[in-house]
Amino acid sequence: MRHGKKVNHLGRKTAHRKAMLANMACSLIEHKRINTTLAKAKALKQFVEPLVTKSKSDTTHNRRIVFSKLRQKYAVTELFRDVAPKVGDRPGGYTRIIRLGNRLGDNAEMAMIELVDYNEIYNAGDKKKKSTRRSRRGGAKAAAPVEASNEEE
C-alpha cells in the first residue's frame, strides 16, 4: 500500500531529484518559461510555488530559506527583485502548465511551464481587472430595459 506517499520520485534518487528540481527552478526563474516532460513540470510546480510565496516578503530569513532550496545566488536575487513585485497581489497560482503533445523520440508527454504574469499573449486581454462580482439580481433588472429599448428601434 502507498498510503501517504505523494512524492513523484521521477525515477531518481532523492539527491538527484532535489538537484534536478533546483536547477529547473533556477532556469524557470531566469527564462520565465521552460519545456520539459509533464511529470517534471507538475513536480516543479509544487517545488516553485512555495518559494515564490516566500519571496513576497523580502526578509533575510526568507532569502536564506529560498537559497537553501535553489542553491544559486543569482536566481534568488532575480526571484526577490523582479518576480516577487510582479506577483505581489496574486494569492497563489504563480505558474501555468501548458501541454505540448508527445516527444518524437520516446513519446513522452511534453509540457511548457511558465510564470503566469510574464506571458504577454494571455494577459493582453486582461487590461482592466474586475474588482467586484455581479449578482444575478442586479444584472437582471439592469438588462431588461436595455433589451426593450433595442427591440423598439
Cell of residue 9, nine digits: 520520485
Tens digits of per-residue pLDDT, 10-65? 999 999 999 999 999 999 999 999 999 999 999 999 999 999 999 999 999 999 99
CA–CA distance, 22 with 61 (Å, rounded to integer): 19
Tens digits of per-residue pLDDT, 69-87? 999 999 999 999 999 999 8
Cell of residue 53, nine digits: 510565496
| pLDDT of 139 above 90 | no
State the average pLDDT over residues 108-117.
96
Q: Which domains does the chain have, with CATH numbers?
A: 14-122 (3.90.1030.10)
Per DSSP, helices labelled H in 1-153 are 14-31, 38-55, 60-70, 73-78, 84-86, 136-152
Cα dihedral 43, 71, 36, 52, rounded to 10, equals: 60
CA–CA distance, 44 with 36 (Å, rounded to integer): 10
CA–CA distance, 59 with 93 (Å, rounded to integer): 22
